[in-house]
Copies of this chain bind each other. A is one copy, B any other.
Amino acid sequence: MQDTRQPAFVLVRPQMGENIGAAARAMWNFGLDRMRVVSPRDGWPNERAVALASGAGRLLDHAGLYEDVAGAIGDCTYVFATTARPRGMTTPIVTPERAMQQARAMLEAGGKVAVLFGPERAGLENADIARANAIISVPVNPDFPSLNLAQCVLLCAYEFRRAGDTTPPEVMEMAGTDFATGAELAALGDHIETRLTEAGFFFPEGKAPAMRQNLRQIWGRLPLTRADVQTFHGMFRQMVRWAEGKRPKG
């Protein structure tokens, strides 16, 4: 289900194989599968990376291996660099959301986009950042800004997917959900009001109109399904049956 047009995620001098594997998983979680790796510390292929990538191992098999950043981005028309601390450079700083919206737009227009991720400890060097057209800065807690490699990859992949996403922000799961109609709710309200009147619920008399009004508002406001309405009818029917001493067998 990967996008045919997607950015390359470039891991620059990654150290731990575990983190490379976790990054592959994070990418594939959001449908991205174009990984490039620049001089990984422990060589290539990396067994620990493969072990940790589990279901996303294919990304490692197909990853491009490069000696330096220049080679890894040689075919790209626009490059983002991720860094926790922008370091006084004359480069636009964008949020992950904005960056991935831009990436999608450029890809649609036929561009080739890369996102650079630095080594775990030190992050990208200034020389790497200088090759980028823009800096992605994740809005982290300044008291605890240390995102790890796979987390940073995860957030960027998530934002790329979100930028193309047509998922409505909120849906009521409708499968098998059949909301009650106004008439059904009114009938339910009438039924319950009748039962409660018989039961002496609306007491004292001076407060009865307000109590009735309040009860009617409840039925109008709650998102009751048809099944809920039947349940409520049944509850009150049964309270009456019980009260009349006609308990069902069993």
Contacts and interface: CB of A to CB of B under 8 A. Distances in A.
Nearest to A222: B222
Interface string A189-216: 0001001101111011100000000110
Copies of this subunit: 2
Contacts of A94: 169-170
A127 interface: no
A192 B243 CA distance: 15
A186 interface: no
Contacts of A239: 195-196, 199, 201, 236, 239, 243
A216 to B, nearest CB: 11
Contact-residue bracket for chain A: 35 or more
A236 to B, nearest CB: 8
Contacts of A158: 138, 155
Interface stretch (A27-35, A40-48, A68-76, A118-126): A27-35
Nearest to A217: B228
Contact of A200 (B175, B201, B247): B247
B151 A1 contact: no
A55 interface: yes
Given A29-B140, A31-B141, A89-B173, 16 more contacts: A29-B147, A88-B176, A92-B170, A92-B172, A93-B172, A95-B167, A97-B169, A140-B161, A196-B238, A196-B239, A200-B241, A201-B235, A201-B239, A218-B231, A221-B223, A242-B243
